């Protein structure tokens, strides 16, 4: 963030709400909290979250088409107009005091009456031989970041989701050939993106196939199919979903489901009074920027209500 943003941070203050995260959910929550005249601070590891790596967003109402970084730039501008501070840091522990929480990182201690956990999710890994070894040398989890390294090369995208098809479409801007390798029988993209993939001559889909290994020397040279066949590629983009960043929540006793997602109710409340959650880290079945923002906004309102009920001056 810009210098003046972090200058607004006050280590002595007990914030009305500290929002953990850096994506649209976290910022949506903070914007509403600021408009409720609450003292709000955002602490996040990654400004922008996963959506910042999306090359094109076309389903956020009111915005016809925007890049992921462009989308987050709009959120940042909105945040700055309300003088909301953002700190790039990772909270390691949360301790509950009588009527506030103490949040601890290696760099600072924070205090807050309420917390909204909007820490999102991180890309799931395949967990196969070669994946870790070649990360940064042909294996990537971000086409927007690394696509330009594969000009006129052959790459593959692992996965069949809407995100996977969008990664494949983006990669065609540089690569000469893009294979989508999917274990299922039909890609699960939105119809508009499915059509784009089918219409794109550079893209070919290989169905009913799993990857069991990645081979190479200095960089990736091939992937190995589950039938044992070696398939030559220069790059492997892995897009097989994501896991919720809920470790901190679990450590402090916030209830999660079998997927590790934080269980929330329609008020974005968790089982711990004063701690709310929203977005990809929470247990909604359909995860989108718009649904995350909505949950974040509800969390801000519920936190506002909580402070009123606790008769805490805000």
Partner 1 sequence: MSSDEHYKEIIRREMAKLKTPVKLKVFTSQRIEADGSKIRACMDCSQFMTLLRIYEENSNGMLTIEEMSIDDNPEFVKQYDISRVPTILFIDNNGREVIRYLAAPQGAEIQPFIQSIFTFAGAPNYYEATIKQNLNRIEPSTIKIMMTETCPYCPQVITIANMFALASEGKIRTVIIDINHNQDIGQYYDAAGVPYTIINDQKTITGMVGPNEILRSLIGGNIRVSY
> What's the CA gap between 58 and 239, in Å, rounded?
19
**Residues 220-239, interacting with partner 1 (CB under 8 A):** 235
| Cβ contact 103:112 at 8 Å | yes
Three-state SS at 18: strand
Nearer to partner 1, 37 or 145 (CB): 145
Go through the chain and tell me how many residues it has: 314
255 near partner 1 (CB under 8 A): no
Of the listed pieces 64-72, 113-121, 158-166, 275-283, which binds partner 1 according to CB under 8 A? 64-72
Q: Which of 10, 145, 247, 305 is catalytic?
A: 145
Q: What is the DSSP string of 122-136?
A: EE-----TTTTTTBT
In 60-219, the DSSP E strands lie at 85-88, 93-96, 101-104, 109-117, 121-123, 139-140, 154-158, 177-181, 203-206, 211-216
Whole-angstrom Cα Rg for the chain: 21
> What's the CA gap between 221 and 292, in Å, rounded?
38
116 is catalytic: no
* Phi, psi (deg, nearest 5) at residue 178: -125, 120
99 is catalytic: no
Which of residues 37, 63, 82, 145 is near partner 1 by CB under 8 A? 145
- Give the Cβ contact number of residue 136 at 10 Å: 10
Which of residues 25, 121, 140, 165 is near partner 1 by CB under 8 A? 140
Which of residues 61, 64, 98, 106 is near partner 1 by CB under 8 A? 106
At 222, list the tokens: 């091939």
Of the listed pieces 23-31, 42-50, 252-260, 302-310, which binds partner 1 according to CB under 8 A? 42-50
Q: Which of 16, 29, 116, 146 is catalytic?
A: 146
Measured distance between the N- and C-terminal CA atoms of the chain, rounded to whole angstroms? 26
163 near partner 1 (CB under 8 A): no
68 near partner 1 (CB under 8 A): yes
Which of residues 4, 65, 93, 271 is near partner 1 by CB under 8 A? 4
Closest approach of Cβ 88 to partner 1, in Å? 6
Q: Which of 29, 142, 156, 283 is catalytic?
A: 142
- Give the Cβ contact number of residue 190 at 10 Å: 14
**Residues carrying an active site annotation:** 142, 145-146
Q: Residues interacting with partner 1, by CB under 8 A?
A: 1-4, 6-7, 9, 45-48, 52-53, 68-69, 72-73, 87-90, 105-109, 135-138, 140-142, 144-146, 148-149, 218-219, 235
């Amino acid at each position: 963030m810009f210098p003046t943003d972090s200058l607004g941070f006050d280590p002595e203050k007990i914030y009305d709400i500290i929002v953990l995260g850096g994506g649209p959910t976290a910022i949506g929550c903070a914007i509403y909290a600021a408009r409720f005249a609450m003292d709000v601070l955002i602490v996040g590891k990654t400004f922008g979250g996963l959506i910042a790596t999306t090359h094109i967003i076309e389903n956020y109402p009111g915005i016809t088409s925007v890049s992921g970084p462009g989308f987050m730039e709009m959120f940042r501008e909105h945040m700055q107009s309300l003088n909301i501070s953002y700190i790039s840091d990772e909270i390691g522990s949360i301790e509950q005091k009588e009527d506030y929480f103490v949040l601890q990182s290696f760099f600072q201690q924070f205090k807050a009456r309420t917390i909204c956990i909007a820490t999102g999710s991180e890309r799931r890994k395949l967990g196969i031989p070669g994946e870790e070894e070649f990360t940064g040398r042909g294996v990537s989890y971000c086409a927007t970041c690394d696509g330009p390294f594969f000009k006129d090369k052959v790459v593959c995208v692992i996965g069949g989701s809407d995100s996977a098809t969008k990664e494949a479409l983006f990669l065609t801007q540089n690569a000469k050939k893009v294979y989508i390798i999917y274990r299922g029988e039909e890609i699960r993209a939105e119809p508009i993106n499915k059509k784009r993939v089918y219409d794109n001559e550079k893209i070919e889909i290989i169905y009913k196939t799993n990857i069991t290994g990645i081979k190479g020397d200095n960089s990736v040279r091939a992937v190995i199919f589950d039938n044992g066949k070696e398939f030559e590629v220069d790059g492997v983009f892995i897009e097989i979903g994501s896991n919720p960043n809920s470790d901190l929540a679990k450590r402090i006793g916030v209830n999660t489901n079998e997927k590790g997602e934080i269980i929330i109710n329609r008020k974005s409340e968790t089982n711990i009074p004063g701690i709310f959650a929203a977005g990809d880290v929470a247990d909604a079945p359909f995860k989108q920027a718009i649904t995350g923002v909505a949950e974040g906004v509800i969390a801000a309102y519920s936190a506002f209500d909580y402070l009123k009920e606790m008769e805490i001056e805000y």
